[in-house]
Structure 1
Amino acid sequence: MAMPGTTATEPSVPLARRRWLALAAPVFGLMIVGLDATILTVALPTLATDLEATTTELQWFTDGYTLPFAGLLLPLGVLGDRIGRRLVLIGGLLLFGVGSAMVMAVDSPDGLIIARVVMGAGAAAITPLALGMVPLMFPPEERSKAMAIATAGFALGLPLGPLAGGWLLSNFWWGSIFLINIPVVVLAVVWIMLFVPESRDPHAKRLDLIGAALSLVGVSAFVYGVIEIPNAGWSDPTVLVTMVGGLALLALLLVWLRRASNPLVDLGFFRNARFTWSSVAISAVMFILFGVLFVVPQFLQQVQGKDAMNTGLHLLPMIGALVIAAGVGGRLVGKIGTKVIVTAGMVLWVAGLGLLSTVNPDTDFMVTGTALAIMGLALGFTMPTTLDAILGSLPNYQVGAGSALANSMRQIGASVGVAVLGSALNSAYRNGVDDDIPASLPQPAQEAVRDNVAGALQVAEKLPAAPAGSLADSARDAFVAGMSTVSLICAGLAAVTAVVVAVLLPARDRQPLAADEAEEKAQAKSARL
């Protein structure tokens, strides 16, 4: 029994009793990708101190991972189709492990950014191929359940990252949050070699190198410009050139994709309204989620004085609410449709973010925890539901390509979210703290105060009691003002997305078109399920 999209000489698909064992491999891979996307959040205050990192460098610790992730998802997915999905998946896992191991030699922010770039490139191979292989290993009657389990691995990894990171930081060196990936990578590689057969598409299209280059350079240039705005200002030539140039390259990419004979992205996916608006919704959710996870752990640690472990534990309301809402939403979506569940989730995002915007340095955790719980409910209603809608909108023979495109949009949303919201936080913080910096401070100390709240608190510790207290309070107040700005920006995006989803997202899957059914039957016949 051969897998769809395999050649006749390749190993057969696992027997029924082994299929579910084989599923563990992509689940492991997707979980560490999701975990590593957020595990860094609780470490940001520690890294700001230990590596003397600025706010801009803290943003790059996150975007150094998400940018190559977003830019390489599609080309690496196509490469796997051409030369072997298992081969490229194993290569991605090994690259991810190498990037994780590189932190042992890191002693500067630049070194960590490079390690994160390597990990992001590995993640870009893991995600589309892990997701794309699952439908090939299962017959149609088991496919939906298998895909749900695989995507749940990634979805659960996101909120569990800060919890795992908090425990590791409280007990080990900060690099342990990356080294923990290595045994998981080894286990996943061994599992794949034992249980997952090789597969490739004998009719795979050529890799669109021009489209891949335009995508990667365009997104990277735009995000770089956004990150540099607080440091250099809107009028800085580098900011203007990178932002405008990035947008121009992305516009050129759209033109290229419409005219290329073998485009990197099939824009025909966007003719499906359910695919389009679910992808837009989940991109907005990732924009918001990564913004929240960028600012809240710093607030809990630097402003309210909690350690890393307690910070992770204080995120439990979000994790618990996510699990509850995902289960409830999964049961309700069949009865009331995707549109209602996702719209309700976006409204909950507005409520939770609105509450978060009201906190101050002395706010009791009852308020912050309630805001996190509401946002956890929002995440549980929106992420699994939109992922399921995206996969359900695609014919089985297009699940791999379609999920890669949706994942690319999702990671771009995360990258842009950290860049835009981190820059908003940085600008608001600097505006709030500037007037309270003692003129008598040496210039390097003044710059440390302006860089981030961690630097301000370090400087304050070296001052006499009265000015130290004043500077520390000013820095905390400035950070909270920046967090409120971030929360309100995200709430506005959530409100707009709620309206868009309510108006444009179809409530249920459309019935497959005759052309889809014919194509799927042809694929199945040629591959002999």
Structure 2
Amino acid sequence: MVCALLRSIMAMPGTTATDQPSSPSSGLARRRWLALAAPVFGLMIVGLDATILTVALPTLATDLQATTTELQWFTDGYTLPFAGLLLPFGVLGDRIGRRLVLIGGLLLFGIGSLLVMGVDSPEGLIVARIVMGAGAAAITPLALSIVPLMFPPEERSKAMAIATAGFALGLPLGPLAGGWLLSNFWWGSIFLINVPVVIIAVMGMVLFVPETRDPNAKRLDLVGAALSLVGVSAFVYGVIEVPNAGWSDPTVLLTMIGGLLLLGLLLVWLRKSSAPLVDLGFFRNARYTWSSVAISAVMFILFGVLFVVPQFLQQVQGKDAMDTGLHLLPMIGALIVAAGVGGRLVGKIGTKVIVAFGMVLWVAGLGLLATVEADTDFLVTGTALAVMGAALGFTMPTTLDAILSSLPADQVGAGSALANSMRQIGASVGVAVLGSSLNSVYRSNMDQDMPAGLPAQVTDAVRDNVAAAVQVAEKLPGSQAGALADSARDAFVAGMSTVALICAGLAAVTAVLVIALLPARDKTPLLTEPAAAEAETAP
């Protein structure tokens, strides 16, 4: 029924590529740039919702009486279907129509956002987040894949910089928007804000974006789709449970090892299948391979930074939700500027230089973040955030443009989904590994400075997180209170420094790989011109 409704929308006059107006080229150019707004809005809400809960968890814990595990699943309920469904939805778009599946993903995302209207329990919010994550899995690869098909080579880098800047901007904008909404409205507003954006994006898709699909689509690889969905989901589930359960937990080990085994079977299947879910030949292209590696490393680092910095601002330096969002503005401003500069320069100096320079900026920003202490002035922290924002602006749009420009026009959905799966796994692994590193350093430091005579239950709470330690300190007498609070804050900062140094090391290694292995330009571009791509559109 939903598919029938969507197909009827697709049949509206003026909504297919064959209905392109026969106006002068300047009119077509204006139409292309107007059409670009639709995927940009879609990508922005995906990025926004990946991080908007950062500042909302304390409010949700109180209003919904959520446990620590339920709080984690408010985030993971979004991440898990997002990672697991990327590949199947990307391939489905290539097969039945990229615009059709993208609009379906937008509507699904909007439905998930509306479900919060009836939520009065943690379980209800988790269900809503799962629906939103499924919608995001359709939006991300297909919104990115349709952009290069609409623009000629001389405009493609600029268009991709704008599109990917929309997603990248949504990531740090999430805490800012969430802080403002929580300070002024009901907690559900952080999700309902998606609804008007979804409506605008769907209208733009219907009115301005042509439908494209693979005219020679093979049968859908159901075995490959199942192995991908279950394998990625199992592995990511295990990764996101690591901070809660630890690396030795049987469930963590079973799901992570089982997921990796299934992904191994998927690789074997893809090599032998006559109609594989995705073509592993994508990785024969060095631009695709090393751009995918670079963007996965960037997501690992970015989500690690967005995991620790808001906690530092709130729990160590005492900022409220709104202030925390405002203190991320240096990152957002630098991101916008760098994305624009990188988009203009990449055609002149090549992908390698832009991405390598961005990775060096990551090293510099993370190195500066590692020097921050509990009472450090924001000038230092803000400078570190600005440098990392510039690093994100140079690396993310440029690598995504390189990935998509290296793909055959009839497989941009599948190839983009494969790269996005790597990126999403990088983000999930980043939060798990860096979260575990933060907790390990924090607890090790607190074990050395724990006041004597505290009950076991109170000691466990102090070791759990800095917020609980500060609450316990407020109930202690005299100098003990200040000593415990200061120890907890210093322990968290030590953990944050460790996270920053791990990320700086990864950025440095990635910079070396990019310099050594990423081609400056694609000598044999596979992506067809928009005019050729129009020949593959549905009638």
Q: Normalising by the residue count of structure 2, what TM-score does the alignment of the two structures yield?
A: 0.87
Amino acid at match of 1:496: V
Instruction: Measure how far apart 1:489 and its partner are.
Output: 1.3
Query: Residues of 2 paired with 1:140 and 1:228: CA distance?
Result: 43
Which digits, 9 at most, give the CA deviation of each residue in 1:191-230, with x for residues without a partner? 3344445554443233323323323333333333334445
Q: Which residue of 2 aligns with 1:382?
A: 395
Instruction: Measure how far apart 1:379 and its partner are.
Output: 1.1
Instruction: Measure how far apart 1:436 and its partner are.
Output: 4.8
Q: Is 1:162 aligned to residue 175 of structure 2?
A: yes
Matches within 5 A, 1:324-473: 324-434=337-447, 436=449, 444-473=457-486
Deviating more after overlay: 387-396 vs 108-117: 108-117
Aligned mate of 1:285, from 298, 321, 327: 298
Instruction: Measure how far apart 1:475 and its partner are.
Output: 2.3
In the superposition, relative to structure 1, how do residues 478 and 53 fare at CA in structure 2: closer, same or farther (>3 Å)?
Answer: farther
Query: Residues of 2 paired with 1:140 and 1:344: CA distance?
Result: 23
Which digits, 9 at most, give the CA deviation of each residue in 1:79-122, with x for residues without a partner? 23333433322221122122223334445555433332221111
Q: Is 1:122 aligned to residue 135 of structure 2?
A: yes
Q: Is 1:476 aligned to residue 489 of structure 2?
A: yes
Instruction: Measure how far apart 1:458 and its partner are.
Output: 3.1
Query: Residues of 2 paired with 1:409 and 1:260: CA distance?
Result: 22
Deviating more after overlay: 45-54 vs 427-436: 45-54
Which digits, 9 at most, give the CA deviation of each residue in 1:279-298, with x for residues without a partner? 10011001100110011011
Look up the SS of the partner of 1:311 in the other structure: helix
Query: Residues of 2 paired with 1:135 and 1:504: CA distance?
Result: 24
| 8 Å CA contact retained: 1:32, 1:181 | yes
Q: Which residue of 2 aligns with 1:184?
A: 197
Matches within 5 A, 1:201-240: 201-240=214-253
| 8 Å CA contact retained: 1:227, 1:420 | no
In the superposition, relative to structure 1, how do residues 210 and 435 fare at CA in structure 2: closer, same or farther (>3 Å)?
Answer: farther
Query: Residues of 1 paired with 2:235 and 2:511: CA distance?
Result: 26
In the superposition, relative to structure 1, how do residues 231 and 40 fare at CA in structure 2: closer, same or farther (>3 Å)?
Answer: closer
Amino acid at match of 2:464: D
| 8 Å CA contact retained: 1:164, 1:312 | yes
Amino acid at match of 2:172: P
Query: Residues of 2 paired with 1:266 and 1:145: CA distance?
Result: 28
In the superposition, relative to structure 1, how do residues 391 and 81 fare at CA in structure 2: closer, same or farther (>3 Å)?
Answer: closer
Query: Residues of 1 paired with 2:439 and 2:142: CA distance?
Result: 37
Query: Residues of 2 paired with 1:405 and 1:417: CA distance?
Result: 18
Amino acid at match of 1:308: A
| 8 Å CA contact retained: 1:432, 1:478 | yes
Query: Residues of 2 paired with 1:128 and 1:134: CA distance?
Result: 11
Aligned mate of 2:108, from 92, 95, 109: 95
Aligned mate of 2:144, from 131, 138, 141: 131
In the superposition, relative to structure 1, how do residues 127 and 526 fare at CA in structure 2: closer, same or farther (>3 Å)?
Answer: closer
Q: Is 1:24 aligned to residue 70 of structure 2?
A: no
| 8 Å CA contact retained: 1:59, 1:419 | no
In the superposition, relative to structure 1, how do residues 333 and 21 fare at CA in structure 2: closer, same or farther (>3 Å)?
Answer: closer
Residues matched between the structures, number: 520
Structure 1 gaps of 5+ residues are 1-5
Query: Residues of 2 paired with 1:324 and 1:187: CA distance?
Result: 25
| 8 Å CA contact retained: 1:38, 1:162 | yes
Q: Normalising by the residue count of structure 1, what TM-score does the alignment of the two structures yield?
A: 0.88
Deviating more after overlay: 481-490 vs 394-403: 394-403
Query: Residues of 2 paired with 1:436 and 1:344: CA distance?
Result: 41
Look up the SS of the partner of 2:56 in the other structure: helix
Instruction: Measure how far apart 1:438 and its partner are.
Output: 5.5
Query: Residues of 1 paired with 2:212 and 2:524: CA distance?
Result: 29
Which digits, 9 at most, give the CA deviation of each residue in 1:117-142, with x for residues without a partner? 22111111112222333445556776
Deviating more after overlay: 168-177 vs 373-382: 168-177
| 8 Å CA contact retained: 1:35, 1:161 | yes
| 8 Å CA contact retained: 2:236, 2:425 | no
In the superposition, relative to structure 1, how do residues 320 and 24 fare at CA in structure 2: closer, same or farther (>3 Å)?
Answer: closer
In the superposition, relative to structure 1, how do residues 434 and 211 fare at CA in structure 2: closer, same or farther (>3 Å)?
Answer: farther
Instruction: Measure how far apart 1:253 and its partner are.
Output: 1.9
| 8 Å CA contact retained: 2:234, 2:259 | yes
What's the % identity of the aligned pairs?
Answer: 83
Which digits, 9 at most, give the CA deviation of each residue in 1:15-42, with x for residues without a partner? 2364444332222211111222222223
Query: Residues of 2 paired with 1:520 and 1:163: CA distance?
Result: 37
Deviating more after overlay: 168-177 vs 196-205: 196-205
Q: Which residue of 2 aligns with 1:3?
A: none
Query: Residues of 2 paired with 1:428 and 1:53: CA distance?
Result: 26
| 8 Å CA contact retained: 2:242, 2:432 | no
Which digits, 9 at most, give the CA deviation of each residue in 1:259-282, with x for residues without a partner? 122222211110000111011001
Look up the SS of the partner of 1:203 in the other structure: coil
Query: Residues of 1 paired with 2:448 and 2:127: CA distance?
Result: 35
Look up the SS of the partner of 2:278 in the other structure: coil
| 8 Å CA contact retained: 1:396, 1:520 | no
| 8 Å CA contact retained: 1:55, 1:452 | no
Q: Is 1:61 aligned to residue 74 of structure 2?
A: yes
Q: Which residue of 1 aligns with 2:276?
A: 263
Amino acid at match of 2:277: L
Structure 2 gaps of 5+ residues are 1-9, 22-27
| 8 Å CA contact retained: 2:352, 2:518 | yes
Q: Which residue of 2 aligns with 1:82?
A: 95
Which digits, 9 at most, give the CA deviation of each residue in 1:479-514, with x for residues without a partner? 21221121111111111111111110111121347x
Query: Residues of 2 paired with 1:153 and 1:131: CA distance?
Result: 11
| 8 Å CA contact retained: 1:226, 1:423 | no
| 8 Å CA contact retained: 1:230, 1:427 | no
In the superposition, relative to structure 1, how do residues 130 and 13 fare at CA in structure 2: closer, same or farther (>3 Å)?
Answer: farther
Instruction: Measure how far apart 1:50 and its partner are.
Output: 5.2
Query: Residues of 1 paired with 2:252 and 2:193: CA distance?
Result: 37
Instruction: Measure how far apart 1:469 and its partner are.
Output: 2.8
Query: Residues of 2 paired with 1:169 and 1:350: CA distance?
Result: 33
Query: Residues of 2 paired with 1:55 and 1:352: CA distance?
Result: 31
Query: Residues of 2 paired with 1:502 and 1:138: CA distance?
Result: 28
Matches within 5 A, 1:192-207: 192-207=205-220
Amino acid at match of 1:343: A
Amino acid at match of 2:99: R
Instruction: Measure how far apart 1:435 and its partner are.
Output: 5.1
